[in-house]
Amino acid sequence: MVDGVKTSACSGSVAETVERFRSHFLSRIRGAKFELPLLPEAANRVMQVAGDENADARKLAEVIRSDASLAGHVLRIANSAIYAPTTPIVSLQQAISRLGMNKIREIALVIATQTKVFKVAGYDAQVRAIFKHSIAAAAYSQEIARLRRWNVEDAFLTGLLHDTGKPVLLQLLVEVQKELKLGVEVGIVDDLLEQMHAGVGSRLVESWKLPERLAETIAYHHRPHEAPTTTQAAMTLNLADELAHLAVGPREVTEESLRTHPMLEPLNVYRDELDGLLKHKEMVKSMAEAVL
């Protein structure tokens, strides 16, 4: 249910409405220039921390690292013509090291004041759940990478950004529903999100000039075996995604199902190592809840 409008508010059968909606939505998506909106509370936090000259740089770095949208925008701007790095900036840490905290502070303020804020009435809770889930996925993804001695920064970033396609799609869905003056069932919205978020997220990351491997990892996080070059990273993200659902949702996952997760074997995660990851659950949960 959206804006109190039930499915097929207009004439025609349910199937026809869904089809009309879907095709309109798809045409909007094609060629669309996505922008990732900011949660109002993230904007507030940045204003508070970055606006205060005396505030701890560490605090600001933390705020940026714990919000997918902020992190994405920082990287987008760090890679833009204004700063014109000789080669693209590929991680948050690198952006901070190269630009210095003062510039990062400036950038954060620009983002907080100029980025579109989420206006997705009816979906607020869902959007917050996605952001919370992303923090947890970033935390787990980096733990798996640490365990395997793989690239921790990449793992963190792909975890943080893997679902950015969802809020973007939701925003668009709401707009399309308004344009067509109809509402669609939550189930249909969810289906569309599931089907399309990986691709949209990947396009978003690409548009920020982040390395192709990050975009590929995100594109394939639900079918890692098909990733042409980043199978390992996509598998890591796939497992981290599931662990994040276990820790903070939104999907319900049991420990039992994680013990037979298909990525454990290819990632060579032994039983005690999985136990080690599962032990982080409370820590990850409190980390995600501290922010959202």
Binders of another protein: how many residues, by CB under 8 A? 36
278 is an interface residue for another protein by CB under 8 A: no
Q: For tokens 């996605």, what's the residue?
A: 130
The distance of closest approach from Cβ of residue 184 to another protein in the complex, given in angstroms and rounded to an integer, is 41
Nearer to another protein, 155 or 182 (CB): 155
The distance of closest approach from Cβ of residue 91 to another protein in the complex, given in angstroms and rounded to an integer, is 5
249 is an interface residue for another protein by CB under 8 A: no
Cα–Cα distance, 285 to 133 (Å, whole number)? 9
206 is an interface residue for another protein by CB under 8 A: no
> Can you tell me which of 35, 85, 222, 249 binds another protein, judged by CB under 8 A?
85
83 is an interface residue for another protein by CB under 8 A: no
261 is an interface residue for another protein by CB under 8 A: no
Residue type, 204: L
Contacts with another protein, 90-119, as mask; x by CB under 8 A:
xx-xx-xxx-xx------------------
Chain centre distance of CA 98: 24
231 is an interface residue for another protein by CB under 8 A: no
> Can you tell me which of 35, 153, 185, 191 binds another protein, judged by CB under 8 A?
153
Nearer to another protein, 95 or 111 (CB): 95
Contact segment (CB under 8 A) with another protein among 40-48, 88-96, 171-179, 237-245 equals 88-96
Angle between helices 271-279 and 231-248 (to 10 degrees): 50
62 is an interface residue for another protein by CB under 8 A: yes
205 is an interface residue for another protein by CB under 8 A: no
Nearer to another protein, 211 or 249 (CB): 211
54 is an interface residue for another protein by CB under 8 A: no
258 is an interface residue for another protein by CB under 8 A: no
Please give the sequence-ordered ranges of beta strands (E in DSSP) within the chain, or none if there are none.
none
Nearer to another protein, 9 or 55 (CB): 55
228 is an interface residue for another protein by CB under 8 A: no
13 is an interface residue for another protein by CB under 8 A: no
254 is an interface residue for another protein by CB under 8 A: no
86 is an interface residue for another protein by CB under 8 A: yes
Chain centre distance of CA 137: 9
List Cα–Cα distances, 207 to 32, 33, 43, 75, in angstroms: 12, 9, 22, 10
Chain residues in the site for another protein (CB under 8 A): 57-58, 61-62, 85-91, 93-94, 96-98, 100-101, 142, 145-146, 149-154, 211, 259, 264-266, 268-271
